[in-house]
A and B are shown apart, each in its own frame.
Chain A
Amino acid sequence: MTISVRDDRRTTRTAFLLIAPALTLIALFVLAPGVLALVGSFFEIDLTSGVRWTWVGLDNFAAILGDDVVLRSVRNTLVYCVLTIVPSLAIGLGLALLVESMGRGRAVLRTLLFLPFTANLVAMAVVFRWIFALNGGFANQLLGLAGLGPLNYLGDERLALPTVAAVGIWRGVALTMVLFLAGLTSIPTAVHEAAAADGIRGLAKLRTVTLPLLRPIVVFATVMTVLGAVQVFDTVNVMTGGGPLYATETVLTMTWQLGFGYFELGQAAALSVLVLAVLIGIGVWRRRSLMGARR
């Protein structure tokens, strides 16, 4: 089809009309706030009389990096990441392999194992708070049967973060399982036959055949798990509120505290910029990693 110059111009006009609403809203509600967060991290933002911005240079960054509680929240987030990411991926992969090897009942199994991801996180956090309650909680009843406990899961500084992380794994596994399973199902039968003909099976097959073929899914599942872990908020907010004594304060709940607890909006912006830098770094790594796989 030949397109004349006039036609071309008309197409451009039509196209702009079609994309204008979406792009305007994206500019207004994603791009502008994103830029403002970046800019705002160099200002002190005062809300007492309207919104007043005062330039403070790097003071906000200096303030948060010199704040023990903020540093603790960063450390907690790292610990949370370490506790959740690898188990979520490993167990998810294991379950995906298990589900794939099942003949009958595969669909039902998949549905049941994916359920944790679909549930409302606030609701499940409420339920887990009850399961891990000091008095009468299921976890302690179970320990009681073995003559142990009770443990103050959410009230003990050492236990609170691992307990919240356990919920993170419970939910993370559901997601990675489904992603890996979709990847596994897409591997052509011929590949399995070839591997069988070459006598490759078990762990060797997983390492040399399955995982390399799953690489894009592995990267994707890793990114999703990391993003979820870095941005953990709902479960912490509902189960512990960041306590006891900041033991479960994470970067996101901390940002929240800085912004709306102490009204240090500039510092909150600075912290969210640091987190954003990490998240964008992950996004870029992922793109590069996937491109490497295609080469």
Chain B
Amino acid sequence: MRGALRAGLAVLAVAVSVFPFYWMLRTSVAGADSVYVDGLSFLPSTLDLGNYARAWQEADLGRAMLNGAVVTAGILALQLLTCIPAAFAFAKLRFASRGVLYGVVLACLLIPSQATAIPLYLGIGSAGLANTLTALILPFATSAFGVFLLRQFMTTIPDSLLEAARADGLGTAQTLLRIVVPLSTPAIATFSVFSVFVHWNDYMWPLLVARDPGLYTPPLALATFQNADTGTDYGALTAAAVIVTLPIVVLFLVAQRRFVAGIAGGELPG
């Protein structure tokens, strides 16, 4: 009895959480005459992949996906380049004013990007960078969260390993590249998944700085597509939604544990 109740609840919960995905897929492959129906029809009566072609073309999704990939990859590369050395220094080197400087990093974790958006926008504008790919990437070239997450992990690397490296004549750069980075792969992977998730999905900042349709990122292209005269072409709209959603859902399915760990920001045990 209790087992049946539990199973029933589980089925209900899954139905609610998965239904919008199902409905998105269902609508995206429905022929024009079976998008709108009376009553419930869980399967479309006619299939039409033309929705995808229309979405791809009219929302210029190819361009948007490319922009999204460039922006996301660019941000991640810069973040890793800047966060890894900083995290290492904060974790393993003893230097003057380390505590104060790390305190600044931690304080910046509390400042949400929304609060800084307006001055940042003005600054980007004054620098003549508005409406460029640079404007989409540069503000996120480093991440206080990345420094924090990687430092947490690097503090667990035994000092004896680093001393041994030093005794073997490895300089700081070599130690960082040959010892610390390989050992920190789990944390680096966790942060990378998190970063890609956040920046692929970011909507507000691109909405602010990407005015030229040629610069639209996937979420922005999709929102614009909806606000254009296609606002009720649900077949094409959901097809576009599928395309925009797919990369991150795949990333999640492939790297589920890292995904959760990144979102929890090292707060979770295990």
A and B part of one assembly: yes
Are B95 and A11 neighbours in the complex by a CB distance under 8 Å?
yes
A87 on the interface (CB 8 Å rule)? Answer: no
Stretch at the interface among B43-51, B184-192, B262-270: B262-270
Within 8 A of B (CB), among A218-261: 220, 227, 231, 233-234, 237-238, 252, 255-256, 259-260
A116 within 8 A of B: yes
> Do residues A186 and B238 form an inter-chain contact, with CB atoms below 8 A?
no
Select one of A50, A118, A120, A142 contacting B244, CB under 8 A: A120
> Of B16, B96, B147, which contacts A12 at CB under 8 A?
B96
Say if the beta carbon of A217 comes within 8 Å of chain B: yes
Given A25-B142, A124-B20, A185-B270, also A33-B203 (CB < 8 A): no
Nearest chain A CB to B186's CB is how many angstroms away? 16
Residue from A118, A121, A136 in contact with B36 in the complex, judged by beta carbons closer than 8 Å: A136
| Docked CA distance A199–B66 (Å) | 59
Going nearest first, the 9 A-B pairs with the smallest beta carbon separation are: A33-B116, A22-B86, A36-B119, A123-B241, A122-B219, A18-B85, A15-B95, A33-B119, A18-B89
B208 touches A170 (CB 8 A): no
Residue contact A127 to B20, C-beta cutoff 8 Å = yes
Residue of A nearest to B109 (CB): A283
User: In the complex, which of the residues B208, B218, B222 has the most CB atoms of chain A within 10 Å of its own CB atom?
Assistant: B222
Of the residues A21, A144, A268, contact of B81 by C-beta under 8 Å: A21
In whole angstroms, how far apart are the Cα atoms of A24 and B165 in the complex? 29
- Picked from A138, A183, A272, A283, the residue with its CB within 8 Å of the CB of B118 is A272
**In whole angstroms, what is the CA distance A96 to B96 when docked?**
45
Distance in Å from the Cβ of A158 to the closest Cβ of chain B? 23
CB distance from B154 to the nearest CB of A (A): 12
Q: A265–B203 contact, CB under 8 A?
A: no
Bound CA–CA A198/B226 (angstroms): 59
- Kindly identify, within residues 1 to 21 of chain B, every residue whose CB is under 8 Å from any CB belonging to chain A: 6, 9-10, 13-14, 16-18, 20-21
Query: Is B168 interfacial (CB-CB < 8 Å)?
Result: no
Q: Interface majority SS on B: helix, strand, loop or mixed?
A: helix
Of residues 126 to 177 in B, which have CB atoms within 8 Å of A's CB atoms? 126, 138-142, 144, 147, 163, 172, 176
B237 within 8 A of A: yes
A194 within 8 A of B: no
Residues from chain B with a CB closer than 8 A to the CB of A16 are 95
Q: A112 — which chain B residues lie within 8 A by C-beta? A: 14, 17-18
Q: Does B214 contact A (CB under 8 A)?
A: no
Q: A19-B86, A21-B142 are in contact. Are A233 and B203 (CB under 8 A)?
A: yes
Interface size class on chain A is 35 or more
Answer whether residue B69 sits at the interface, using C-beta atoms and an 8 A cutoff. no
The minimal Cβ–Cβ distance linking B57 to chain A, given in whole angstroms, is 18
Q: Given the known A-B contacts A14-B172, A29-B139, A182-B268, are A119 and B86 also in contact in the complex, defined by CB atoms under 8 Å? A: no
22 sample A-B contacts, Cβ–Cβ < 8 Å, listed by A number: A17-B85, A19-B89, A22-B86, A32-B119, A33-B123, A51-B125, A101-B6, A112-B14, A114-B260, A115-B18, A115-B252, A120-B201, A121-B203, A122-B223, A123-B219, A124-B20, A142-B40, A144-B38, A183-B268, A220-B267, A255-B118, A276-B111
Quick one: which of A25-46 are within 8 Å of B by CB?
A: 25-26, 29-34, 36-37, 40, 45
- Residue A5 CB within 8 A of the other chain: no
C-alpha spacing A17/B234, complex, angstroms: 53
Per-position binary interface string of chain A over residues 118-134, scored 1 when its CB falls under 8 Å from any chain B CB and 0 otherwise: 11111110111111010
Contact mask B219-241 → A, CB, 8 Å, 1/0?
A: 11011001000001010011011
Taken residue by residue from 195 to 207, chain A's Cβ proximity to chain B (1 for < 8 Å, 0 otherwise) reads as 0000000000000
Q: Distance in Å from the Cβ of B42 to the closest Cβ of chain A? A: 10
CB distance from B116 to the nearest CB of A (A): 4
Does residue A163 face the partner (Cβ distance < 8 Å to B)?
A: no
Q: Interface-forming stretch among A66-74, A76-84, A171-179?
A: A171-179
